Chains A and B, each alone.
Chain A
Amino acid sequence: MGKFLLLAFRNVFRNRRRTVMTLMMVGGGVAGLLLVGGFFAFMFHGLRESTIRNGLGHIQIFTAEHFQRDEVHVLDTGISNWRRVAASVRTGSHVRGVAPRIDFYGMLSNGVKSSVFMGSAVEPDSERSMGFSPRIASGRDLGSNSNGEVEALIGTGVAKSMSVKVGDGLTILAVTADGALNGIDVQIVGIVNTGFKDLDDRYLRITLPSAQRLLQTDRVTNLVVGLDDTENTDSVAATLIPELRGQSQPMVIRKWIDLAAYYQQVRTLFSGIFLFLGIIVFFMVLMASVNTLLMAMFERTREIGTMLAMGTPRIWIVALFMVEATLTGLFGAAVGVFGGNLLGVALNVSGLHLPPPPGSDVPMAFKVLHVPGLMIGASLLVVISLALASILPAIRASRLQIAEALAHV
C-alpha cells in the first residue's frame, strides 16, 4: 500500500507544469469559495450582531397572551410584574442585563406638520448596560434623569420630514390603556441613524416612565435580555423556560433568530447564491480535471500497458488514477485554503468598503471571516470533484488493450 501511494504521489508531480496549473485551478476554486463564503459569513455575523444590538437583544420575554390574541387596549397583554421577572432573569449566568420595553404607535407633530411614528420606550441605563446604544447621528442618547423635560430620540428620516433638529420640541399623541387619546411634549436630544431607511423614517424613542405616563399604564410590552455572547443564546434560553414557569402570568420566550425575519431572509438569499457558486466551482473543477486526467492517461498509455502486462489487476489501475486525483484535490485544497486565507487577511487589512446595501445608508466594510467549517467544506468539494473526475480516465485506462497500449507511441 505504501509503495502504491508513493507511486500515486510521484505521478502527481510527474508533469510539474501541468500539476501547477491544476493546483492553481483547484486552489483558485477553493480560495474563491473561501473569500465569498468568508465575506458572506462576515456579513451574516455583522447583520446578526447589528440586529441584536439595534435593540432586538438575544432573548425577549413576553406574556403568552401576547401571541395568542390581539390587544383590545394598549398593553393589556403586557407584562405587569415585570420588575420581579427582570430581577429573576438578571441573576442567570451569561446575562448582561434585562431591559423592559414598550412598543407603541402614534402621531407626532411640530405644530405645522404631523407624521406617524413607531415608538419604543426604554430604560436608557439598562439598554446601555447591554451595549444596546442607538447609533446617534447628532446629539446624545437619552439621559436616565431628566429635569422635567421628556427627552426623545428621533430617526434621521423623521428629523428631515418634520424639519427639526436637536433641541427642538415635538408633540406626540397616542392612545392610552383606557382607549383615550393622550399627548405629551418632548424635546429632541438626539437624532438616530439605525442603518435602515424605512425605520429611520418612523423612529421615535423615549424613556419608559415617559411612555408609561403617556399611555397611562405600568405594564411593559416585553423584556429584552442581553447576553455576554450570542453563542450562549440557546443554553440561556433553555434555563429560562423553567424559571419563568413560576410567574403569575404565563410567559414565553423568543430567541433573536425567531424574531429576526430580515436576517433570515438575507441569510437564505445569500446561502442560495453561495450554493450556486459552489455548484459552478464543482463543475468547473470537474470538467477541467477530466480533461487533464485524460491527457495524463493518454501520455502514460504504454506504462499502463506495461503494468497490465505484468499482471497488475485492472482495479489497481482504477485505484491508482483515483488516488492520484484525490491527492491532487488535497494538494489543491491546501493551496486554496492557504491562498484564500492569505488573500482574506490582505483584504481585511486593506480597509475596503462596499456601497451601502439596499435600505441602508452606511457603507459596508468588506471583511472576510476565516471559517474552519467553510475551509473543510470547500476542500471536500474539490477533493470529491477530482475523485469523480478521475472515474472516466481511470476506467478508460483500466480497459486498455494491453498489446495496443504497449505499441502506443
Chain B
Amino acid sequence: MHPSDDLVHVDAATRKFPLDHSAVTALDHTSLRVAAGEFLAIAGPSGSGKSTLLNLIGCIDKPTSGRIFIDGVDTSQLSPARTTALRREKIGFVFQTFNLIPVFTAAENVEFPLLIQGVNASERRTRVTEALESVGLAARANHRPDLLSGGERQRVAVARAIVGRPALVLADEPTANLDTRNATQLIELMRDLNRRLGLTFLFSTHDQRLLEHTPRIVRLTDGRVESDTHSQGDSHGQILATCVS
C-alpha cells in the first residue's frame, strides 16, 4: 500500500528523549497504518509510548527518526507554519484533562477552532450549535467549564475537536479522568460520531473494559507494537453493559 492511501502512516518512527547523558527511547521503530473512518485504540501500560505515538501523529512532536504521513503528507518535510496549518485543518484533539479555556463558555470553547480557521461568524454559530447538539450539550452552551461536570467538559472537548470537521480526531486517555458511567458515555459518543460522520478516531487508553469491544486495538509495549488486532462487528452495546455493570 502506498503511504498516501492511508490517513495515517507511521513509518518506523523512533522517539528518544535525552536524560542526563543518555537517552530514553519512548518509541522504537514503530510503524502503523490507519485508514480513514477507523475507530482505533492504542493500548498499553504506562510508559509504553501511547502518548508519544499520539503526539507524533498529532504533529505536536517530531520523531527522532522515521516519518509520519498524514493524509499522504510527509510531516517531516513541513515548515512549522505548515505543520500548524495541518493540525488546524486536519486534526482534532481531545485531552485527558479536557483542557478547555476556562474563561470561555462551552459554546465559545467549541467556536475557538473555527475562529482560528477564519470561518465567518454566521457559519461559526451554525456549526457550534450542531457540534454541541451532537454531543448532547446544546442546553449547556452558555456555561463556563467550571459549571460543568467532568463528563460534560469532556463532551465539550469532543465537540471542540470535531467542529472543524477534521480528518482525524486524537484522544489521549480521554476517559482517564471520568467515572465509569461518563467514560462509557464518552466512548459511545465517539463511536457514534465515528459511524455517523465517518470521523477517524485514534485514542489511547489502558482501560481494559473499553478495549474489549473496540474494533481495532494496537498494543504497545516498551515503545514497540506488540499486537495489532482487528475484530469484526461491533458490540458497542456490550461495552455499555460491561461498563455499567
Interface centre among A4, A311, A316 (most CB of B within 10 A): A311
A303 proximity list for chain B (CB < 8 A)? 99, 101-102
Contacts of B35 in A (CB 8 A): none
**Considering the chains assembled together, what is the distance between the CA atoms of A313 and B113 in angstroms?**
11
Residue of A nearest to B89 (CB): A311
Interface residues of A in 182-241 (CB under 8 A from B): none
Contact of B61 among A302, A311, A316, A403 (CB under 8 A): A403
From A14, A303, A306, name the one whose CB has the most chain B CB atoms within 10 angstroms: A306
B29 at the interface (CB under 8 A from A): no
- Interface of A (DSSP majority class): helix
Size of the A side of the interface (Cβ < 8 Å), in residues, is: 23
Closest to B172 in A: A406
- Residues of A contacting B95 in the complex (Cβ-Cβ under 8 angstroms): 306, 406
Q: Would you call A309 and B101 a contact (CB within 8 A)?
A: no
Give every chain A residue within 8 A of B85 (Cβ-Cβ). 311
Q: Do residues B104 and A311 form an inter-chain contact, with CB atoms below 8 A?
A: no
CB-CB under 8 A from B60, the residues of chain A are 308-309, 402-403, 406
- Inter-chain contact B111/A3, CB cutoff 8 Å: yes
Q: Is A7 an interface residue (CB 8 A)?
A: yes
| Alpha-carbon gap, A102 to B112, bound state (A) | 80
For residue B71, CB closer than 8 A to chain A, the reply is no
Q: Which of A1-44 touch B at CB < 8 Å?
A: 3-4, 6-7, 10-11, 14
**A313 pairs with B84, CB closer than 8 A:** yes
Query: Is A264 engaged at the interface, CB distance under 8 Å to the other chain?
Result: no
- Asked if residues A309 and B103 are in contact (CB atoms below 8 Å), the reply is no
Cβ–Cβ < 8 Å partners of A311 in chain B: 84-89, 91, 113, 116-117
**A403 partner residues in chain B, CB cutoff 8 A:** 55, 60-61
A19 to chain B, nearest CB (A): 12
Q: Looking across the interface, which residue of chain B has its beta carbon closest to that of A409?
A: B97
Instruction: State in angstroms the CA–CA spacing of A371 and B111 once bound together.
Output: 45
> In angstroms, how far is the closest chain A Cβ from the Cβ of B70?
13
Interface size class of B (residues with CB under 8 A): 20 to 34
A328 to chain B, nearest CB (A): 15
- A10 CA to B61 CA, complexed, in Å: 30
Q: Is B243 an interface residue (CB 8 A)?
A: no
Complex-state Cα separation, A212 to B111, whole angstroms: 90
Known: A14-B103, A406-B95, A406-B99. A309 touches B116 (CB 8 A): no
Contact B87 A14 (CB under 8 A): no
CA distance A402 to B84 in the complex (A): 11
Q: Say which residue of A11, A14, A313 sits within 8 Å of B116 (CB atoms).
A: A313
Q: Does B223 contact A (CB under 8 A)?
A: no
Once A309-B87, A406-B60 are accepted as A-B contacts, the answer to whether A4 and B93 lie under 8 Å apart by CB is no
Closest chain A residue, CB of each to CB of B84 = A311
A312 at the interface (CB under 8 A from B): yes
**Which residues of chain A have C-beta atoms less than 8 A from B152's C-beta?**
none
For B90, the closest partner residue in chain A by CB is A311
B244 in the interface, Cβ–Cβ < 8 Å? no
Q: Tell me the complex Cα distance, A293–B130, Å.
A: 37
Q: Which of B87, B91, B99 contacts A302 (CB 8 A)?
A: B99
Q: Contact check, B61 vs A310: say whether CB atoms are below 8 A apart.
A: no
Indicate if the CB atoms of B87 and A316 lie closer than 8 Å: no
**B28 contacts partner chain A, Cβ-Cβ < 8 Å:** no
Produce 1/0 per residue, A150-174, CB < 8 A to B.
Answer: 0000000000000000000000000
CB distance from B57 to the nearest CB of A (A): 12
Tell me, yes or no, whether A267 is within 8 Å of chain B by CB: no
Known A306-B93, A403-B60, A406-B95; judge A312-B116 contact (CB<8 A): yes
What CA separation (Å) do A189 and B2 show in the bound complex?
A: 115
> Does B78 touch A at the CB level, under 8 Å?
no
Distance of B54 from chain A, by nearest CB (Å) = 10
A312 to B84, CA, bound (A): 7
Q: Is the CB of A402 within 8 A of B61?
A: yes
Q: With A303-B99, A402-B60 in contact, is A310–B104 under 8 Å at CB?
A: no
Residues of A contacting B86 with CB < 8 Å?
311
In the assembled complex, how far is the CB of residue A143 from the closest CB belonging to chain B, in whole angstroms?
77
- A11-B91 Cα distance, complex, nearest whole Å: 26
Could you say which of B84, B101, B102 contacts A314, with CB atoms under 8 Å apart? B84
Q: List A contacts of B104 (CB < 8 A).
A: 7, 10
Instruction: Flag whether B147 is at the interface (Cβ < 8 A).
Output: no
Question: CA separation between A401 and B162, bound complex, in Å?
Answer: 24
A4 CB contacts on chain B under 8 angstroms: 115
When distances are taken between beta carbons in the complex, the residues of chain B under 8 Å from A316 are: 116
List A279-314 residues whose CB lies under 8 Å from chain B: 302-303, 305-314
CB neighbours (8 Å) of A307 from chain B are 101, 112
Task: Name the CB-closest residue of B to A311.
Answer: B88
Query: Which one, A7, A11, A305, A310, contacts B87 given CB within 8 A?
Result: A310
Given contacts A306-B95, A307-B101, 17 further A-B contacts (CB under 8 A): A6-B108, A7-B103, A7-B104, A302-B99, A303-B102, A306-B93, A310-B93, A311-B84, A311-B85, A311-B88, A311-B116, A313-B84, A316-B116, A402-B60, A402-B61, A406-B60, A406-B99
Report 25 cross-chain contacts, Cβ distance below 8 Å, ordered by A residue.
A3-B111, A7-B103, A7-B104, A11-B103, A14-B102, A302-B99, A303-B101, A303-B102, A307-B101, A307-B112, A308-B84, A310-B88, A310-B112, A310-B113, A310-B116, A310-B160, A311-B113, A311-B117, A312-B84, A312-B88, A312-B116, A313-B116, A314-B80, A402-B60, A403-B61
Point out residues on A near B: beta carbons under 8 Å.
3-4, 6-7, 10-11, 14, 302-303, 305-314, 316, 402-403, 406
